[in-house]
Structure 1
Amino acid sequence: MAKQPMLKFTNVARDMPPKREAEVRREDFKEIYAEYAEAKAAEQASRCSQCGVPYCQSHCPLHNNIPDWLRLTAEGRLREAWEVSQATNTFPEICGRICPQDRLCEGNCVIETSGHGTVTIGSVEKYITDTAWEEGWVQPITPAQERTESVGIIGAGPGGLAAADMLRRAGVQVTIYDRYDRAGGLLTYGIPGFKLEKDVVVRRNEQLEQSGVTFRLNCEVGRDITFDEIRSAHDAVIIATGVYKSRDLQAPGVGVPGIARAIDFLTVSNKKSFGDDVPEFSDGSLNAEGKRVVVIGGGDTAMDCVRTSIRQGATSVKCLYRRDRDNMPGSQREVQNAEEEGVVFEWLTAPKGFTGDPVTGVLAQKMRLGQPDATGRRAPEVIEGSDYTEEADLVIMALGFEPEDLPTLWDCPDLPVNRWGTVKADYITGKTEAEGVYAVGDIVRGASLVVWAIKDGRDCAEAILEQLSAAPAVAAE
C-alpha cells in the first residue's frame, strides 16, 4: 500500500519560509520571505487534513481548490498542482504574496482549531506558480479561435487584467485603457516591492500583451479619450478603475506642506524603485529620508506607508490609530513585520489638527473604546484632557479611498452610481443599467481586496461571453 502523503499535521509543525532579519530587510525593497525549497513545500502541503468540508476553500473569494493542489504538491506533482491552482485564479503567484491569508484561507484552516497551526497555504501557492514560471509552463494565451467581438476595459488593475485574461482565452479582442504609464494599477504603483516585487507584475503584463491584449497607457478617460468613444469602439465596456480618491480629514492645519496622501507617497516610492526620475522624491517632499514620519490610519495601506518610510531612511516612524490593535482593519502579520522593522504604534490615538507650516507636529488625543456602533465595532471616544503633540516632519494620511466622480469626469451623466459614488452594478455579472457597460472591483465594492477584484473580473468576463454568444447574428448585406 502506498504511503499516506497527507494528514501529517500531528507530527509536522507549521513552518513558514525563512524571513529575512529586520535589520537587513529594512535596507531594501525586496520581498521579506524566502522561497520554499521543493522538499519543504511538499512537507508543509502534506500537513493538510483533506477535510470533508474545506473551510479554506469556502472562505477564499475565488473558491480555489486548495486541498487538491496541496495534495498534488505533497505528492510532487507540481505541474498538475499549478494547473489546478490557475484554473480558478488568474494570478495565484500574486495572491500567494499579498492576500491576507490570516483572515481568509489560513484563518479558517480546520487544523488550526485543533491547535496544530494552519497550513501555510499562501506560501505553497506562491511556490507552485513561481515554479511554473521558472519551468516555462506559463505561456502566452493562444485562443482556439479568434472572434470578431471586442471589449474595452478601463483600468489595468487586477480586476481589469483578470477580465482581459479570460476574454482572450475565448478569442475576444481586448483593449485596456489606463491613465498610468505602466499596467498593473495598485499592483504596480500601490503595493510596495517588499510585499510584491515588480517583476512579478511585469511578467504578467508582458504575458497578456504577448497574448494579444492591446494596452493604451497614459490614456485618461475624459482627457485623452471620451467614454462615448470607447463605448462606440467596442461591443462591451468594463469599468475597472478602482478607487483612488483619498478620504480627507477635516481638521486645523490640513493642507500645509508636509502632509501627504498615502497613494501619492506610495506611487512616488514605486516609481523610484523602477528607476524613474521623480521630482517629488528628489526635492524631498515625498521622501521620508531623515524625517520624523507619522502615518495616520490602521489599514494595510497604512502598513505599506510605515514600512516604506523605514526603508527610505526615516529617523522615526509612528502610526496613529484610533482603535486598539485587536480592532484594526489591517493584517496582524503586517503589524508584526512593521514592529520588527522599528515602527512604533500609538494605539487609541486620533489626530485633531496639525501644527506648523510646513508641518511640525500632529495634535493628537487619546481615545477609549465605548459601546459597539451600528457595525458591531466598539466606537472610539475621546478621553478629555489627553491632548498632546506628536512631532513630525512628514505626515501621511492613510484614511482609505473613495471613488472619483466618474459621471462628471467622463461626461456621462447616465452612468449609474449610488450615493457613495460607486458604480451600480450586479455583484455577480458586473452588468450596469447602461447598455453594454459593466463594472468590477473596487469601483463597485468600494476599497477592497485584490482577490475580490480578480473574482469580479473573471465573473464579469464569463457574463460578457454569455451575452456575446446569445446576441443574434447580424445578417450580411
Structure 2
Amino acid sequence: MAKQPMLKFVSVERDMPTKRAPDLRNKDFGEIYAEYAGEKAKEQSSRCSQCGVPYCQTHCPLHNNIPDWLRLTAEGRLQEAYEVSQATNTFPEICGRICPQDRLCEGNCVIESSGHGTVTIGSVEKYITDTAWENGWVKVIKPHSERTESVGIIGAGPGGLAAADVLRRQGVQVTIYDRYDRAGGLLTYGIPGFKLEKDVVMRRNDQLAEGGVTFKLNCNVGEDISFADIQAAHDAVIIATGVYKTRELAGPGSGAKGIERAIDYLTASNRKSFGDDVPEFDDGQLDAKGKRVVVIGGGDTAMDCVRTAIRQGATSVKCLYRRDKANMPGSMREVQNAEEEGVVFEWLSAPKGFTGDPSVTGVIVQKMRLGAPDATGRQAPEVIEGADYLEEADLVIKALGFEPEDLPQLWGVEGLEVTRWGTVKAQFTTGETDLENVYAVGDIVRGASLVVWAIKDGRDCAEAILDKLNASAAVAAE
C-alpha cells in the first residue's frame, strides 16, 4: 500500500524558504527569499490537509486548484503541478512572489486555525513555476489555428497581459498599446526588485511577444494614437490602464521641493535597475542616499517606498500612518520585513503641514487616536489637539494611494461611462462597458487593488470576448 503523502501538518512544522539577513538584504535589490529545494517543497506541500471544502481555493480570486498542485508537488510530479497551476493563473510565479497570501489563501488555511501554521502556499507556487521555466516546461504560445478577429488592449499591466495570453492561445490577433517603453505596468516599474526581480516579468513579456502578441510601446492614447483609431482597427477593445493619478496632500508647504510622488520615486529606482539613464535620480531628486526620508501612507506602495529608501542608503526612514498597526491596509509580512530592515513606523500619525522653502526640511505631524467606527466599520482616526511635533525630513514620499485618470476627457471618448469615483463603469464578470465591443478590466474598474484581481479580470474578460466572437462566427456561418 502506497504511503500517504499528505496530512503531515501534525508532524511537520511550517517552514518558509530561508530569508536573507536584514543587514545583508537591505543593501541590494535582490529578492529576499531563497528558493525552496526540491525536498523542502515536497515536505511543505505534504502538510496540506486536502480539505473537502478548501478555503484557500475559495479565497483565492483566481480560485486556483491549490490542494491539487500541493499534492502533485508532494508526490514529486512537478510538471503536472505546474500545468494545474497554469490552468487557472496566467502568472503563478508572479503571484507566488507578490500576492498577500496572509490575507488570501494562506490566511484562510484550515490547519492555521488548528494551531499548526498555514501551508506555505505562495512559496510552493513560486517554486513550481520557477522550476517549470528552468526545465523548459513553459512553452511558446502556439494557437491550434489563427483567427481573423483582432483585439486591441490599452495597457500592458497584469490585466492586459492576462487577457492577451488567453486570447492569443485561441488564435485571436492581439495588439497591446502602452505608454511605457517596457510592458508590465506596475509589475515592471512600480514593484521593487526585492519583491519581484525584473527578469521574471520580462520573460513573460517575451513569451507573449514570441507567441504573436504585438506590442506598441511608448504609445500614449490620446496623443500618439486616438481611441477612435484603436476602435476602428479592432473587433474589440479592452481598457486595462490601471490607476496612476496620485492622491495629493494638502496643508501648508505641500508644494515644497523634495515632496515626491511614490510612483515617480519607485519608477526612477526600477529604471536604474534596468541600467536606464534617469536624470532625476542622478541629480539626487529621487535618490534617498544620505537623506532623512519620511513616507506617508500605510499600504503596500508605502512599504515598497520605505524598503527602497533603506537600500538606497537613506540616513533614516520613517513611515507615518494615521491608524495603528492592526489597521494597516498593507501586508503584515511586508511591515515585518520593513521593520527588520530598519524602518521606523510612527503609528497614529498624520501630516499637518511641511516646513522648508524652497526645499522641504520637515513634516509637521499631528498625533491621532482611534475614535468611533466609520461607514466601513473601521475606527475613524481623530486628531489629538496640542500633540503636534516636527519630524525632520529631506525627502517626503506621498504613498496615499492612486486614483483613476479622467479617460473620457483624456481620450475624447463620448459614451464611456464612469462611476462617481472616476473608475470606468463595467460589468465585473465580463468587463463590458456601455460602449459596444469596449471592455475594461483591473484597477481602472475596481480602483487600486491587487495584481491577482487584475489577472482574474483580464482572463474573465478575454473569455467573454471569445464567447461573443464565437457566437458571431456561428451566426455568420449559418
Question: TM over 0.5, yes or no?
Answer: yes
- Flag structure 2 segments of 5+ consecutive residues without an equivalent: none
* 2:328 matches 1:328: yes
Counterpart of 2:230 in structure 1 is 230
Residue identity matched to 2:22: A
3-state SS of the aligned residue for 1:231?
helix
Which 4+ stretches in 1 moved above 3 angstroms? 472-476
Counterpart of 1:447 in structure 2 is 448
* 2:385 matches 1:384: yes
Q: Map of 1:27-66 to 2, 5 A cutoff?
A: 27-66=27-66
After TM superposition, give the deviation of residue 414 of structure 1 in Å: 1.6
* 2:360 matches 1:359: yes
How far apart in 1 are the matches of 2:414 and 2:264? Answer: 28
Residue identity matched to 1:249: L
Residue identity matched to 1:292: R
Counterpart of 1:124 in structure 2 is 124
Counterpart of 2:274 in structure 1 is 274
The superposition leaves residues 321-352 of structure 1 with CA deviations (integer Å, 9 ceiling, x where unpaired) of 00000001000000000000000000000101
How far apart in 2 are the matches of 1:427 and 1:251? Answer: 37
Counterpart of 2:431 in structure 1 is 430
* 2:137 matches 1:137: yes
Q: Which moved more, 1:340-349 or 1:410-419?
A: 410-419
How far apart in 2 are the matches of 1:50 and 1:361? Answer: 54
Residue identity matched to 2:154: I
> How many corresponding residue pairs?
476
Residue identity matched to 1:426: Q
Residue identity matched to 1:389: L
Q: Map of 1:23-422 to 2, 5 A cutoff?
A: 23-357=23-357, 358-422=359-423
Residue identity matched to 1:435: E
3-state SS of the aligned residue for 2:34?
coil
How far apart in 2 are the matches of 1:46 and 1:214? Answer: 42
How far apart in 2 are the matches of 1:209 and 1:123? Answer: 28
How far apart in 1 are the matches of 2:125 and 2:474? Answer: 42
Residue identity matched to 2:7: L
The superposition leaves residues 191-244 of structure 1 with CA deviations (integer Å, 9 ceiling, x where unpaired) of 000000000000000000000000000000011000000000000000000000
After TM superposition, give the deviation of residue 472 of structure 1 in Å: 5.1
After TM superposition, give the deviation of residue 413 of structure 1 in Å: 2.6
User: Structure 1 residues 474, 59: closer, same or farther in 2, change over 3 A?
Assistant: closer
Residue identity matched to 2:378: R
How far apart in 2 are the matches of 1:413 and 1:342? Answer: 50
The superposition leaves residues 26-71 of structure 1 with CA deviations (integer Å, 9 ceiling, x where unpaired) of 1100000000000000000000000111000000000000000000
After TM superposition, give the deviation of residue 470 of structure 1 in Å: 1.0
How far apart in 1 are the matches of 2:283 and 2:202? Answer: 28
After TM superposition, give the deviation of residue 429 of structure 1 in Å: 0.1
The superposition leaves residues 112-160 of structure 1 with CA deviations (integer Å, 9 ceiling, x where unpaired) of 0000000000000000000000000001100001000000000000000
3-state SS of the aligned residue for 2:96?
helix
After TM superposition, give the deviation of residue 355 of structure 1 in Å: 0.4
Q: TM-score, normalised by structure 2?
A: 0.99
How far apart in 2 are the matches of 1:389 and 1:239? Answer: 44
How far apart in 2 are the matches of 1:314 and 1:242? Answer: 30
3-state SS of the aligned residue for 1:10?
coil
3-state SS of the aligned residue for 2:354?
strand
After TM superposition, give the deviation of residue 474 of structure 1 in Å: 8.8
After TM superposition, give the deviation of residue 255 of structure 1 in Å: 1.6
After TM superposition, give the deviation of residue 86 of structure 1 in Å: 0.3
After TM superposition, give the deviation of residue 256 of structure 1 in Å: 1.1
How far apart in 2 are the matches of 1:277 and 1:169? Answer: 36
The superposition leaves residues 331-377 of structure 1 with CA deviations (integer Å, 9 ceiling, x where unpaired) of 00000000000000000001011000200000001100001010000
Q: Which moved more, 1:46-55 or 1:411-420?
A: 411-420
Residue identity matched to 2:418: V
After TM superposition, give the deviation of residue 254 of structure 1 in Å: 1.1
After TM superposition, give the deviation of residue 475 of structure 1 in Å: 7.0
Root-mean-square deviation (Å): 0.9
- Flag structure 1 segments of 5+ consecutive residues without an equivalent: none
Counterpart of 1:459 in structure 2 is 460
How far apart in 2 are the matches of 1:107 and 1:156? Answer: 30
The superposition leaves residues 396-433 of structure 1 with CA deviations (integer Å, 9 ceiling, x where unpaired) of 00000000010111011321111111000000000001
How far apart in 1 are the matches of 2:267 and 2:473? Answer: 45
How far apart in 2 are the matches of 1:474 and 1:15? Answer: 56
3-state SS of the aligned residue for 2:458?
helix
After TM superposition, give the deviation of residue 249 of structure 1 in Å: 1.4
Residue identity matched to 1:395: V
The superposition leaves residues 74-114 of structure 1 with CA deviations (integer Å, 9 ceiling, x where unpaired) of 00000000000000000000000000000000000000000
Residue identity matched to 1:156: A
% identical aligned pairs: 82
3-state SS of the aligned residue for 1:471?
helix
How far apart in 2 are the matches of 1:329 and 1:236? Answer: 36
Q: TM-score, normalised by structure 1?
A: 0.99
3-state SS of the aligned residue for 1:250?
coil
How far apart in 1 are the matches of 2:54 and 2:437? Answer: 37
